[in-house]
Amino acid sequence: MQFPHRSFFGKIWPAALLGLAALQFVGTAAAQQPATREIRVVNKCRLPINLLIEHADGYRNWHPHAWYRIDALASTGLKNKNGDLLRQSDGLSLYYYAESVNGRYFWQGTDSSTTWNNTTYRLRKAATYVSEQRLTFELTCD
């Protein structure tokens, strides 16, 4: 009776080590990705608003989205063109520009700027908080 050159464990052990190394690499790559949260907007104004935001869903992965109409006294999650809820990376700022649909109120600032359809908008840093695991910010007409 002949025995193979390498035992069963001799064949499995290198594969097991390779698998463990791959898992460690995947775990390390996942750990390097920042956690993200869905973006939610609360409109406490008695007027509907139009909103443009600039957010980051990864390290240095900033992009604007517009225009969202947020009904008066309503809250909503924001979705991209594909219908996916927008997410913001934890620890990074969220910026926005908004205006009431009647043009009476504007929310703008000097914290950042972005261009949308060849128009540059001055953005305000959102005062965000976490509610129900969502990154939330509010707009008021006060």
CATH class of 36-139: mainly beta
11: CB partners within 8 A, 6+ apart: none
3-state helix, strand, coil in the chain (%, to 5): 20, 45, 40
The pLDDT value given to residue 94 = 93
Q: What are the structural domain ranges in the chain?
A: 1-32, 36-139
The pLDDT value given to residue 118 = 96
Q: How far apart are the first and last CA of the chain?
A: 90
Sort 26 into a burial class: Cβ within 10 Å, 0-12 / 13-18 / 19+: exposed
Residue 2 pLDDT exceeds 90? no
**Span of 8-12, 39-43, 53-57, 72-76 with lowest mean pLDDT:** 8-12
Q: Which of 105, 101, 122, 124 is nearest to 113 (CA)?
A: 122
Average pLDDT on 16-25 reads 52
Pair of tokens at residue 34: 């920042």
Convert the pLDDT of each residue in 22-59 to its tens digit: 555 444 444 556 688 999 999 999 999 999 999 887 76
Residue 13 pLDDT exceeds 90? no
CB 106 within 8 A of CB 139: no
Convert the pLDDT of each residue in 88-142 to its tens digit: 888 889 999 999 999 999 999 999 999 999 999 999 999 999 998 899 999 998 7
The pLDDT value given to residue 21 = 53
